[in-house]
Amino acid sequence: MEHIQEPVPVVLIDMAGFSKRNREIQIDHLKRLQQGIRESIQPMIGFADPDQVIRRHGTGDGYYLFLKGYPIPAAMRFVWNLEQFLHADKIRHPGEEPLRLRVGLTLGDVGLVGDQYLGDALILAQRLIDHDLIKEVLQKRPDHPLVLVASAPFWNLWYHHPKKSDINLAYPEDRPWIEETLVVKHGDAIPCRIQVEPELLPRTKDIIIQRNNNLKNGEYISGIELHNLKCLRQFSWKLEAGEEAPGWHVLLGDNGSGKSTFLQACAMGMLPVEDVLTAGINLDGWPSQQEEMAEIWIHCDSGRKLFTTIRRARENTFEREWFPSFIGFGAAYGPYRRFRGGTIKAADILKSDRPLARYLSVFGEDAAMVHVQSWLRDLHHAALEGKSAEKKMLADVTTFLNQEGLLPQEVQLVSVSSDQVVFEDPAGTRVDINSLSDGYRSILSMMLELIRQMGLFYRDQTIFSPNGHQVIMPGVVLLDEIDAHLHPRWQRVIGPWLTRCFPKVQFLITTHSVLVCQGAIKGSVWLLPDPANPDDPGQRLTGSALDQLLYGNLLEAYHSNAFGPGIDRSDEARKKLEYFAHLNVKSMGGMLQPDEEREYRILQKIFGASSDAWEKP
């Protein structure tokens, strides 16, 4: 059985105003801080050597604790102990300038390079405590010893952690979100319920209002720029001004052209930094050959920009400039969409309410939608107990799946029990959800997981339309190889079907199927750069080529060159067609020999009145 490893808690401690003090006070404060750190961490590590977890950050007043092997609540308990030390230290040194600390909590890894500890967790923690709002809080409250700022993923994991002690680690419930960070009250650290002084409150309110508006109205992607990212050296995906984002946006390209890379890059740009670092993504080779850095720019319709860099160094690193992650609902699903399989670690992440749970599938095949069936069973149990919200959700899901024209062959969800989720076909044959065909399982697993995650994200808000036929909440969903396991008839309708059932969702999808492309009536079709042509920038398909792809029959769609030249017929068929063209010319001149006449009649039945045959010289 695979061991589940928690993300490593990292604590960064920095003294406020240290550089402004004289040398004598600096030395005294450093000694007192060292004593406080050791005393505060010792109860959590028992007889272990504190020096194994305490590290100096830089050459100044900074320290960090790298709590590998210790549960996340240990970091919070340490800060609680440290605060008690600061109050006691202030009493022990009356009349002296007190120790004042900024403490940042995050998750990630730290590596030893030479004699220096480096890592993205340290970079993020430094950005947390250097945030202008944190400095303003310290400036406005000079008598208080400590301000604590935790990244959102850290806070979420701690808040739901089974080992959390509510008695010793009591924090207020009405905590505000500040971009990706959370400033929280602890004891006497900052005596304000919302952690900012009245004159700073309008700024925080503005941020909260903006976030709530984005949750209500949705946040969409208006542009994506990739620079020096694997085979995608330069590629820009951009909607026109005023163009609606919700719809079916298709990306086409040869194998190896970067379709999966494009979606993975989008997911990395949308996720919080800590989630990317704990997702187990192998960053080797992400910067293009001979390039030191890859860049991901995501432009949101709200005007916000998300900028991510991946640097080639002695160790590959991932960095996010000080911009928040994607505020609206986002999710991504790879080509391996199934109910069973995957690793225990992936299942544990998918069960959480971390943003990573909604994106993990796109990064590899170790994530399966294993919680969908237990979610349906939990809804069933809660409904039997008379819980109205769960009862309504189960009824809405059933109505949604059973609406006319949704699932092929009129397959219906007929029962959910503690043992099974059962579907039935028109002939009355009942089948457990795990015994459905690959096509059904591929679509149902993705769609039910999407509904489950939307329910978690929007919490108390109603996600279904009154008749239960649509999910009406906004979002951005990335789908890799949507055509996998689907019958051609289903490939043709999957786009119109999903955009009708999720009218406010912006789908960015990759495919090898011309039938899937024909769902992009409301949306766009893009060709990724040809990997064999370094000068090809890629392009959006427009004009007659787009019309031919969207509205033509299969042969006409393939002739649009959206899938490249020479794929409408096999090489052997082309040889026969060329010979048919040659016989056409001889036939018009009455020059066919008897054996040629017989071959001509056979080929005529195969190719009919093929225009290609008549155009051959």
> Do strands 505-510 and 523-527 pair parallel, antiparallel, or not at all (unpaired)?
unpaired
Q: Which residues contact 495 (CB under 8 A, 6 or more apart)?
A: 248, 507, 509, 516, 518, 519, 520, 523
Spatial contact of 446 and 369, defined as CB atoms under 8 Å apart: yes
Report which of residues 44 and 541 the model is more confident about: 541
What pLDDT, in 10s, does the model give residues 502-544? 999 999 999 888 888 887 788 999 988 887 787 888 889 888 8
Residue 220: what pLDDT?
94
The mean-pLDDT minimum among 347-361, 493-507, 545-559 falls in 545-559
Give just the sign of the alpha carbon dihedral 380, 386, 388, 392.
positive
Residue 60: C-alpha distances to residues 6, 79, 117 (Å): 30, 20, 15
C-alpha to C-alpha distance for 144 and 125, rounded to whole angstroms: 21
State the Cα angle at 36 between 31 and 38, rounded to 5°: 100
User: What gap in Å lies between CA 345 and CA 366, rounded to an integer?
Assistant: 9
**Is there a contact between 511 and 534 (Cβ–Cβ < 8 Å)?**
no
Dihedral angle, C-alpha 347, 350, 351, 356, nearest 10 °: 140
Note whether 299 and 326 are within 8 A (CB): no
What is the distance in angstroms between the CA of the first residue and the CA of the last residue of the chain?
Answer: 67
593 CB-near residues (< 8 Å, 6+ apart): none
Give the Cβ contact number of residue 609 at 10 Å. 7
Domain residue limits, the chain: 9-216, 571-615
Enumerate residues 6+ apart whose C-beta is below 8 A from 578. 616
pLDDT in tens, 569-610: 566 766 776 777 777 777 776 778 888 888 878 877 776 654
**DSSP letter, residue 287:** B
**pLDDT digit string (tens) for 125-174?**
777 777 666 777 777 767 667 877 777 667 767 766 665 544 433 343 33
Which tokens in the block code for residue 253? 């390209």
What is the biggest distance separating any 2 CA atoms in the chain, rounded to whole angstroms?
Answer: 117
**Global confidence as pTM:** 0.63
Distance CA 86, CA 130 (A): 21
Selection from 443, 334, 468 nearest residue 393 by Cα? 468
More confident: 205 or 292: 292
CA angle, 581 then 547 then 539, to 5°: 100
Whether the per-residue pLDDT at 19 is higher than 80: the answer is: no
Report, as an integer, the average pLDDT of 284-291: 80
Nearest one of 517, 600, 603 to 556, comparing CA atoms: 517
389/380 Cα distance (integer angstroms): 11
Q: CB neighbours (10 Å) of residue 231? A: 18
What are the angstrom distances between the C-alpha of 100 and each of 15, 36, 41? 6, 12, 18
Q: Which residue has 């399982």 as its token pair?
A: 441
Q: 502 phi and psi, to 5 degrees?
A: -125, 70
Question: How far apart, in whole angstroms, are the C-alpha atoms of residue 63 and residue 73?
Answer: 19
- Look at residue 225 and tell me whether its pLDDT is greater than 90: yes
CA nearest to 128, candidates 104, 153, 148, 100:
104
Sheet order of strands, 330-333 included: 330-333, 475-479, 505-510, 247-252, 523-527, 539-540
Residue scoring higher pLDDT (46 or 535): 535
**Tokens for 572?**
């052997």
Report d(CA 583, CA 576) in Å as an integer. 10
Q: Are 73 and 169 in contact (CB under 8 A)?
A: yes
Please report the DSSP string for 134-203 in residue order: HHHHHHH-TT--EEEEEEHHHHHHHHT-TT--TTTS---S-PPPBTTEEEE--TTSS--TTSS-TTTHHH
**Which of the listed CATH numbers 3.10.560.10, 3.40.50.280, 3.30.70.1230, 3.40.630.30 matches domain 9-216?**
3.30.70.1230
Give pLDDT, residue 60. Answer: 56
